[in-house]
Amino acid sequence: MSAPLTEQPAAPLPEELAGPERSGRRGGALVQRLVVVRELGILAALVLLVVATVIANPRFLSGQNVRDLLLSAAILTVLAAGQTMVIITRNVDLSVGSVLGLSAYASGTLMVVAPGTPVVVVVLAGMAVGAVCGLLNGAIVAVAGVPSLVVTLGTLYAFRGLDSLWASSSDRLQINAADLPSGFKSLGGARLLGVPVLFLVAVVVVVLVGYYLRTFRSGRELYGIGSAPEAARLSGIPVGKRVLTAFVVNGALAGLAGVLYAARFQTLDTTAGTGQELFVVAAAVVGGVAIFGGSGSVYGAALGALLLTTIGTALPQLGLDPFWRDAAVGALILAAIALDRALQLRLAARLRGRSARR
């Protein structure tokens, strides 16, 4: 009778294979530590800004001011969460501001035409409009191979033009608060345990996106695509499909942001979301999402969104001209890109040094 089968321990990797695997693991651990350091740095900058503003104006942290700050940060945070998925793949979506405006107008029009539409249906409709826009962007980028910067710069104007054409053809250039149902309008000021509901929605979005990127294989593959697209393709990762998915999710979240915008401001026209795309990209990059792709987290992007919103709110409290907000955002973007490049060079040098000592 043959001997019973037993589970054998895995044979050790040959030295030439074990070395690269250990180097890859060390590189991943180093990147993870650098991401955490970046996020802690953003958190520290946020705390310092709040402390300086409170010293200048103790009423800055009053309940109403904090709620207004969180409401303002909610929309940018949702946009930054979707943008993070796109930037990680070494792409960018400049059309999110126009998608927000189109979705906001679409959701407002739906409520005007059908006043009894449930809020959930309005939210799903806004997200569907955004997902279709994201699908168009992703298809051109992933299938046709056109650079995302060129594609989304074009659709930025195309979606905005579509929004204007829709508004002018319907003789409804602006949707006012009086046109919206009271149930939807109450969402903009609703609070749960004192925290604005819109901000809680943004928190849920960030947690879900972060969980997906960290836990699901398809989410982790986005990092591989951003780090080395050709290597990812050779390893069997469906690069086109993953990039398309990232754009669709980003579009759906921009559509959700459009619904939140409608609930927050309740006055909708074709200018909604204009210029927002620059702050979205800035929030992600400042929050540690490498513009070169392959690293960063949605939590850092959320902190970046909160920091940029706080800067815009704090400057008037500090007696500074609002012009300095744009200057500060530009400086933060340049500093973040320079820091990312320096960290990449440092990481490469450390890995080469460790390989040389083997």
Around Cβ 202, how many Cβ atoms within 10 Å? 29
CB atoms within 10 A of CB 294: 21
Tens-level pLDDT at each residue, the chain (358 residues): 444 433 334 444 344 334 444 444 554 555 566 667 677 778 888 888 888 888 888 887 777 888 888 988 999 999 999 999 999 999 999 999 999 999 999 998 999 888 888 999 999 999 999 999 999 999 999 988 899 999 999 999 999 999 888 888 877 777 888 888 888 888 888 888 888 999 999 999 999 999 999 999 999 999 999 888 888 888 888 999 999 999 999 999 999 999 999 999 888 888 888 888 888 998 998 888 888 888 888 999 999 899 888 888 887 777 776 677 677 777 777 777 776 666 666 666 665 665 556 5
Question: Helix, strand, or coil here: 223?
Answer: helix
d(CA 327, CA 15): 52
In whole angstroms, give the CA distance from residue 73 to residue 314.
13
Per-residue tokens: 303: 């902190």
Query: CA 290 to CA 341: how far, in whole Å?
Result: 9
Backbone angles phi, psi at 267, to 5 degrees: -130, 115
**Residue 16: per-residue pLDDT:** 39
Q: Specify whether the CB–CB gap between 284 and 83 falls below 8 A.
A: yes
- Angstrom distances, CA of residue 6 to CA of 3, 13, 32: 9, 21, 38
- Which domains does the chain possess? 37-332 (1.10.3470)
**Phi first, then psi: what are they for 111, rounded to 5°?**
-70, -30
pTM of the entire predicted model: 0.84
